[in-house]
Amino acid sequence: MSALKTVVVPINRAGWPFIAAFAVVSALLATVSEPLGWIGLILTAWCCYFFRDPDRVVPTRSGLMVAPADGTVHMITEAVPPPELGLGEERLTRISIFLNVFNVHVNRVPVEGRIVAARYQPGKFLNASLDKASDLNERMSVHMTTADGRDIVFVQIAGLVARRILCYLKDGQSVQTGERFGLIRFGSRTDIYLPPGVSPLVAVGQTTIGGETVIADLNGTEPQRQGEVR
């Protein structure tokens, strides 16, 4: 049974209309040409794979922040949070996680707290790996506070292929660490801004698992971690 779970995983509900559309087109292509039908079948299987939504084992110790997305830590830098959240011009440590089309695209809440504001900002669809994508691309910015009053910001950013951001969070909503809150179709980036004095516990180039990988400890004093390829 455990082996079966690694192959057959739940599909996010947002993916079913796309899977159905791919399946219908595949059936139509098969009536025209057998090779086209096989191509359609492969694309339908990929669509199922893209919208997979596996369960995750979420660390529950108070203060631990988890990655909001699967992907690769593309950059760690100092940056001002999105202006639509009205948090001022103070530069905070920003961790950017890049998702390719093969990553799980379901996003997860990084830490327990309360949603203050979730704001959509229209924009461009530049390559999400570019630094300027944080400022210019379409995005959904979320401001939340922890139980001890610290501000956390995380942002869903559309990419070159991604054309649709889904976010289910509402102002005033209470959330738990690792809770699913949305997804981005089809390839994207997720930024998270740490509170002052909090150091990243991931390094550039590291692979993250949304809801599982610890990216910071609000109650810890460990300095920023460094990493190298070996």
Q: Which two tokens stand for residue 42?
A: 């492969």
Instruction: Compute CA 105 distance to the chain's CA centroid, rounded to the nearest angstrom.
Output: 6
193's enclosing H/E stretch is strand 188-193
Alpha helices in the chain (DSSP H): 2-7, 16-32, 34-50, 133-136
Report the length, in residues, of the chain.
Answer: 230
The answer to whether 200 and 134 have CB atoms below 8 angstroms apart is: no
Phi-psi map region of 224: left, alpha, beta (phi>0 left; psi -120 to 50 alpha): beta
Half-sphere exposure of 129 (CA within 13 A, CB side): 11
DSSP code, position 11: B
Q: Which of 169, 165, 141 is nearest to 84 (CA)?
A: 141
Q: Under a CB-based contact definition with an 8 Å cutoff, are residues 74 and 96 in contact?
A: yes
Element (H, E) at 12: none
**Residue 188 is among the residues annotated as catalytic for this protein:** yes
Round to the nearest angstrom and report the end-to-end CA distance of the chain: 34
Q: Which amino acid is at 132?
A: K
Which residues are catalytically annotated? 188
